[in-house]
Amino acid sequence: MDLFDELPIEETGLTAEQEIRALREELKEQNYKYYVLSAPTMSDREFDEKMHRLQELEAKHPELFDPDSPTQKVGSDLVESQKSKVESNEGFPRIRHRYPMLSLANTYSREEVEEWARKLPAGVEIVAELKYDGLSISLWYEHGQLTHAVTRGDGTEGDDVLPNIRTIAGIPQSLVESRKSRGPHKLAQWGVSKVESLISSDIPDRLELRGEVLLPWERFEALNKQREEQEEPLFANPRNAASGTLKLQDSKEVARRGLTCYLYYMLGEQLPGTTHYERLMQAKQWGFPVSEAIKVCHSVDEVMAFIAYWDTERKNLPVATDGIVLKVNSLAEQEELGYTAKSPRWAIAYKFAAERQLTTLKQITYQVGRTGVVTPVANLEPIQLSGTMVQRATLHNEDFIRQLGIAEGDKVYVEKGGEIIPKIVGKVESQESKVESQYAFPTVCPECGTKLVRVEGEAAWRCPNEVSCPPQLKGRLEHFVSRKAMNIEGLGSETIALLYDKGLLHSIADIYDLRADDLAAQERLGEKSAQNLLQAVEGSKQVPWSRVLFALGIRMVGETTAKKIAKRFTSIDALQWASKEQLMAIDDVGEQIAENIVAYFADMRNLEIITRLQAAGVQLAANSDQQSAVSLPQVLEGKTIVISGTFTEHSREEYKQMIEDYGGKNSGSVSKKTDFILAGENMGPSKLEKAQSLGVKLVNEQEFLAMIHV
Ligand code: IVH
């Protein structure tokens, strides 16, 4: 049975017109959350169901046609001006696609796939490919050089995220080079001059390759782990992580995250080949990353076998896939079949159903984290899902629970799809649950009884009792000893809990007062492990200042930010007198972080801890090697600088680094706060226009180098 059938169809009690309007609103909102914020609040499945419902209603009511309906448009990842809060997506040049970037008709039903295939002219070949679950990108090559990399945007215009795309290892920057760089073996075989003549003759002057940018599972998990440690919101799945990454202004960070890419479509004029498959193989020959999992099928049975095989085999792939794409192979036949407003008629996507189960929500409990955030957790009647037993699922926050309208005792649907973390996606409507839910979030901390506070604009409730709320104290200890912080092995969460309960550990400074006999007296800690632990504590006194700063656990000061702060303020003595403005002059330090730092040092209890750490010999200042690295004159201190265009003397990344090294702050977008623009050749037109309208000064490469006396 198709999973759709299991879902209760809600009786809306609305007229068709009202329902159409409501669906259009809801889907537009979801499109924005999905494409722009990279943080959808609806499962793909639910989105597709609502889209199908809207299509169905619009087909029945042609008089209500609206060209602005989400059924007529592909989702947009562009940031409209009123939404420019989304900081990370600002500052990329907007470019008009040469060919519209469409989406695909999709279905979850194999019967519908069969139906689509059977309607095609007899004997057509169908190319079956994996449907990669990332975000689409269009790569433009001019005379063999990569010149633009444009996101889908609204299908008509997209953002040129070229600097970020350049960080992806498999994407050739230059087709000539990529051909040459195939290694000495091939070179020797062909001879360099032959390679070049091949290139110039068979690569069209203008070439466009489309594909999917992805963050591999492994990278995604590592990124989320890091974000958890740094108290940043987690990405729900690799697709959101990839899309969030591609919108970053800092290409170095993009490079660190390790995106990857598969290309599946070639466009342009005077292209080789008469079939889609031939073009993909040609692309592969030119050095593009093209998947191995492609098959030319000659019958519906072959298509079905491909689907069945990959439905299980995809679980072993390093990247996320969410279905199969089927395309008519012959380009002439594709042309004949043509397009709808939104998608080609010659292709269809079959989407794999996320595994979904029905179970009972037994109880909602609450977890208090290191920073006091109270997270509701669903305790479920255990259920088998995608091979694992699921009994808990996060409910994120109060709003999430209210949106789902769930309460203890409800029958709920649990899903595990692109998300690794199981998620509650809905509930079975019953008579009782139609009555307004009586759910209420706790008003006091479940651990220490302190009245909870909700910071304006945040979804989370927080326990403000930093001083004595046990999970907050234990959490701070766990963070302090963690690998990327002080790296004190042998002090895991269980040992921390044990020593905390025994009254031996309350604050991070207590770690340096631990004695061998105190430890050895603990039943669960043998003499040997006590010794090892003390050795690790001793070793942590060599950890450099930047990591100690991270280890202190100042709210929102993650690993990278701590490094930048430690570079500017080379000792805690200097840092504790820093003003908010001085802190904000550091790249990456916004107002909130600066305020947190100032507040941290305004608290006597923290100062006492610092004094004790200092007495214990913890590195609270950079050693002389590190200091020499920062002895550059801070001539750009307090200056916010935007880089735009291309440069000849140094690379863009090098200029970014110079700005930081000389005390300045990089920013991706031009605003009133911009002190000047470091302007290269071909500066983005939108930046230029904005600079002119705000009267922001342009500084060329030479002028900039003179400024810093290089
Ligand atoms: S072909 C005109 N092939 O799925 C046809 N798309 O829901 C262009 N996708 O926007 C698309 N894997 O981002 C095609 N093998 C594949 C794909 C694929 C993933 C994505 C793509 C597209 C979306 C449609």
More confident residue, 195 or 619: 619
pLDDT of 86 > 70? The answer is no
pLDDT of 525 > 60? The answer is yes
pLDDT of 404 > 60? The answer is yes
Q: If you measure from the C-alpha of residue 280 to the centroid of ligand 1, how many angstroms do you get, rounded to a whole number?
A: 14
* Domain CATH number, residue 244: 3.30.470.30
Q: What is the pLDDT of residues 535-544, one digit of tens each?
A: 999 999 999 9
Last residue of a domain, one of 51, 72, 93: 72
More confident residue, 48 or 509: 509
Q: How confident is the model at residue 283 (pLDDT cuts 50, 70, 90)?
A: very high
* CA torsion, ordered 446, 450, 451, 457, to nearest 10 deg: -80
Q: If you measure from the C-alpha of residue 291 to the centroid of ligand 1, how many angstroms do you get, rounded to a whole number?
A: 13
Which residues are bridge partners to 324 per DSSP? Answer: 130, 350
More confident residue, 599 or 235: 599
- Work out the average pLDDT over 605-618: 96
- Pair (201, 225) in one structural domain: yes
Q: If you measure from the C-alpha of residue 107 to the centroid of ligand 1, how many angstroms do you get, rounded to a whole number?
A: 14
pLDDT of 200 > 80? The answer is no
Burial zone of 598 (CB within 10 Å; 0-12 exposed, 13-18 middle, 19+ buried)? middle
pLDDT of 51 > 60? The answer is yes
Q: Is residue 463 part of a domain?
A: no
**Strand 347-351 with 321-328, pairing:** antiparallel
* Residue to probe by mutation, ligand 1, list 152, 154, 212, most atoms within 8 Å of CB: 212
Q: What is the pLDDT of residues 302-319, one digit of tens each?
A: 999 999 999 889 888 999
Which residues are bridge partners to 159 per DSSP? Answer: 94
B/e letters for 511-529, b = 16+ CB within 10 Å, e = fewer, are bbebeeeebeeeeebeeee
Which residues in 200-344 belong to E strands, given as ranges?
Answer: 206-214, 260-267, 294-297, 321-328
pLDDT of 627 > 50? The answer is no
What is the residue type of 538? E
pLDDT at 623: 81
- Pair (542, 481) in one structural domain: yes
pLDDT at 356: 83
* Domain CATH number, residue 398: 2.40.50.140
* Domain CATH number, residue 540: 1.10.150.20
Measured by CA distance, the residue closest to atom 18 of ligand 1 is: 131
Q: If you measure from the C-alpha of residue 278 to the centroid of ligand 1, how many angstroms do you get, rounded to a whole number?
A: 18
CB atoms within 10 A of CB 549: 24
Q: What lines the ligand 1 site, CB under 6 Å?
A: 102-104, 129, 131-132, 136, 212, 264-265, 325, 344, 347, 349
What's the Cα-to-Cα distance from 160 to each of 79, 213, 642, rounded to whole Å? 13, 14, 17
Active-site residue (options: 73, 131, 351, 690): 131
pLDDT at 631: 59
Q: Is residue 261 part of a domain?
A: yes
- Pair (582, 648) in one structural domain: no
- Pair (238, 370) in one structural domain: no
Q: What is the pLDDT of residues 526-560, one digit of tens each?
A: 888 889 999 999 999 999 999 999 999 998 898 88
pLDDT of 418 > 60? The answer is no
pLDDT of 32 > 80? The answer is no
CB atoms within 10 A of CB 571: 14
- Work out the average pLDDT over 646-664: 83
CB 115 within 8 A of CB 356: no
- Pair (149, 57) in one structural domain: no
pLDDT of 628 > 50? The answer is no
- Pair (383, 532) in one structural domain: no
Q: How confident is the model at residue 176 (pLDDT cuts 50, 70, 90)?
A: low
CB 448 within 8 A of CB 465: yes
Q: What is the pLDDT of residues 452-488, one digit of tens each?
A: 999 777 788 999 998 899 999 999 999 999 988 999 9
Last residue of a domain, one of 427, 462, 487: 427
- Pair (408, 496) in one structural domain: no
Per-residue tokens: 111: 């019967």
Measured by CA distance, the residue closest to atom 6 of ligand 1 is: 131
Q: Is residue 673 part of a domain?
A: yes
pLDDT at 194: 37
131 is catalytic: yes
Q: Is residue 510 part of a domain?
A: yes
More confident residue, 627 or 57: 57
B/e letters for 314-327, b = 16+ CB within 10 Å, e = fewer, are beeeebbbbbbbbb
What's the Cα-to-Cα distance from 398 to each of 117, 260, 364, 373, rounded to whole Å? 46, 36, 11, 12
What is the residue type of 684? G
Which residues are bridge partners to 644 per DSSP? Answer: 679
Which residues are bridge partners to 665 per DSSP? Answer: 640
- Pair (496, 570) in one structural domain: yes
Among candidates 650, 651, 655, 622, which has minimal Cα distance to 636?
A: 655
Q: Is residue 638 part of a domain?
A: yes
pLDDT at 131: 97
Q: Is residue 435 part of a domain?
A: no
Q: Is residue 544 part of a domain?
A: yes
Number of domains in the chain: 5
**Residue 331 to residue 348: CA distance in whole angstroms:** 15
Among candidates 226, 270, 269, which has minimal Cα distance to 99?
A: 269
CB atoms within 10 A of CB 656: 21
CB atoms within 10 A of CB 60: 11
Q: Which are the contacts of 259, defined by CB distance < 8 A and separation ≥ 6?
A: 164, 167, 168, 213, 214, 215, 219, 242, 245, 246
Q: Is residue 219 part of a domain?
A: yes
Last residue of a domain, one of 316, 332, 351: 351
In terms of average pLDDT, the best of 101-105, 221-225, 236-240, 382-386 is: 101-105
Measured by CA distance, the residue closest to atom 21 of ligand 1 is: 136
pLDDT at 417: 60
* Domain CATH number, residue 33: 1.10.287.610
The boundaries of the domain holding residue 165 are 85-351
- Pair (195, 297) in one structural domain: yes
Of 542-546, 600-604, 689-693, which gets the smallest average pLDDT?
A: 689-693
**Mean pLDDT across the chain, nearest whole number?**
85
**Residue 597 to residue 610: CA distance in whole angstroms:** 14
- Work out the average pLDDT over 81-88: 31
* Domain CATH number, residue 640: 3.40.50.10190
